[in-house]
Structure 1
């Protein structure tokens, strides 16, 4: 009789243990960013900017567009060549993606990050924390520009003439409106010391991201506020419903060291099926 009691207890314990371990395993929803990581796994330095986002009512689907900047080998340039505003850089490859479908969870996670770097790789190290466009790999990098002083004595980052395209890419067309002197050194110092590879950075007063003037020519910025509010309410409900069923994104799950290890060893195959393909 004692043997059977022990056997029943062992079976019950095994069931509970299996159930708990099953519940702890997240069901990943694939993001286009996962594809980018695997596609450019052999690249040591790149940045991915969320260049636009939208919701298609007729399809009931959410979409992102990305701008990918890949750093190639830089030629040896003289100061005169760096200041040349006519020649285009040969060491930066720029790829603008088409619309990419994303799940409600992904859309909700990045709804404040329009115009920002949402994924970067620097010297082989991935960083999935959102930051102002270019501030991670290009601002503060003497290969592309230098710190200058404005008329008020403040320090700001200025790109060399050869890399003048960064001004439009990071700050938006009509450079100077809203970012008259580029990124202030105080902002870059704050990001570099307290946020890099740690957590998202939106500036000291949340001046970077979706509401920034640099996004004024995007599809999302040109949508009426009533549309945006409706989408935000809808995506919140849809995302919550998916999370209640055990779904998550790799960005969410990677906030723990345990998950970061699993993220590196993963083959990036989604368990969810159709999202983000």
Structure 2
């Protein structure tokens, strides 16, 4: 009888645990695929390059700009030391689209020396700005400093934010002190992200405000419906300080978890 009770208790416990696990249903996103594809890559950045919504199919989409540092600098020009590409449109869930709604033009995933970071930051902040390998801080006559890439890395200016824009040191220092490795950063004055002028060339910001407002309403409703069924995204699974070993564990056990995407104002 005692053995029977033990077996019965164990069975019930396993049932409860399995039911709890079943409620945690993660929606895979293209970012999960990028993480597993570059599992052995030490340094890369992913920028949310564009986003869209198709009313006829009720589907959400992202485009990503992926910047991968090649393992060895064996090429003749510095620019060839990087593999830079923009993906085709990638379908994402409503949860993913909603989660990144303010992140257009920003780095939303990066890896530096094997450490994975899933916080959103101004493009280039995570791997290149402040890195003396690529540039230096220049002081202006008014005493403020801005980041300037070395001549051979000047292409990064256009790659990240355009040659007419500057990253200032006081903004960057504030990020390093208060947000680095802990939370996403949109600038002290919210001057980075979806609604800023730096995304003027994106197809998303060419859409009329009425369309974007409608999408905002639709994605909130669709995302809430998915969450009510137990679905979630891996954006809550921060892991911003994951090492290469942890990243491997992520690819094996959590590749079905989603990071989200969003739309803007």
Q: Same fold (TM over 0.5)?
A: yes
Report the Cα offset of residue 23 of structure 1.
Answer: 2.4
Distance 2:121 2:255 in 1: 27
- Contact kept, 8 Å, 2:39 with 2:248, in 1: the verdict is no
Instruction: Determine if the alignment matches structure 1 residue 19 to structure 2 residue 5.
Output: no
Higher RCO, 1 vs 2 (CA within 8 Å, ≥6 residues apart)? 2
Matches within 5 A, 1:112-151: 112-151=102-141
Are the structure 2 counterparts of residues 120 and 142 from structure 1 closer, same or farther at C-alpha, using a change threshold of 3 Å? same
Larger radius of gyration: 1
TM-score, normalising length from structure 1? 0.81
Are the structure 2 counterparts of residues 200 and 269 from structure 1 closer, same or farther at C-alpha, using a change threshold of 3 Å? closer
Distance 1:29 1:106 in 2: 8
Are the structure 2 counterparts of residues 228 and 92 from structure 1 closer, same or farther at C-alpha, using a change threshold of 3 Å? same
Q: Could you tell me which residue of structure 1 aligns to residue 217 of structure 2?
A: 233
Matches within 5 A, 1:1-277: 7=5, 11=8, 15=12, 18-19=15-16, 21-25=18-22, 26-73=24-71, 75=73, 89-172=79-162, 175-176=163-164, 179=165, 182-254=166-238, 264=250, 266-270=252-256
Question: For structure 1, which segment, 100-109 or 139-148, has the greater mean C-alpha deviation from structure 2 after superposition?
Answer: 139-148
Q: Could you tell me which residue of structure 1 aligns to residue 263 of structure 2?
A: none
| DSSP-derived class of the 1:241 partner | helix
* Alignment coverage as a number of residue pairs: 251
Are the structure 2 counterparts of residues 192 and 161 from structure 1 closer, same or farther at C-alpha, using a change threshold of 3 Å? same
Report the Cα offset of residue 195 of structure 1.
Answer: 1.6
Distance 1:69 1:255 in 2: 21
Distance 1:153 1:211 in 2: 29
Are the structure 2 counterparts of residues 36 and 261 from structure 1 closer, same or farther at C-alpha, using a change threshold of 3 Å? closer
| DSSP-derived class of the 1:70 partner | strand
Unaligned residue ranges in structure 1 (runs of 5+): 82-86, 273-277
TM-score, normalising length from structure 2? 0.84
Cα RMSD between the aligned structures? Answer: 2.9
Distance 2:73 2:18 in 1: 52
| DSSP-derived class of the 1:37 partner | helix
Q: Spell out, residue by residue over 1:30-50, the C-alpha distance to the aligned partner (whole angstroms, 9 max, x if none).
A: 010111111111110000000
| DSSP-derived class of the 1:221 partner | helix
- Contact kept, 8 Å, 2:136 with 2:148, in 1: the verdict is yes
Unaligned residue ranges in structure 2 (runs of 5+): 259-265
Report the Cα offset of residue 186 of structure 1.
Answer: 1.2
Distance 1:140 1:262 in 2: 28
Distance 2:140 2:104 in 1: 28
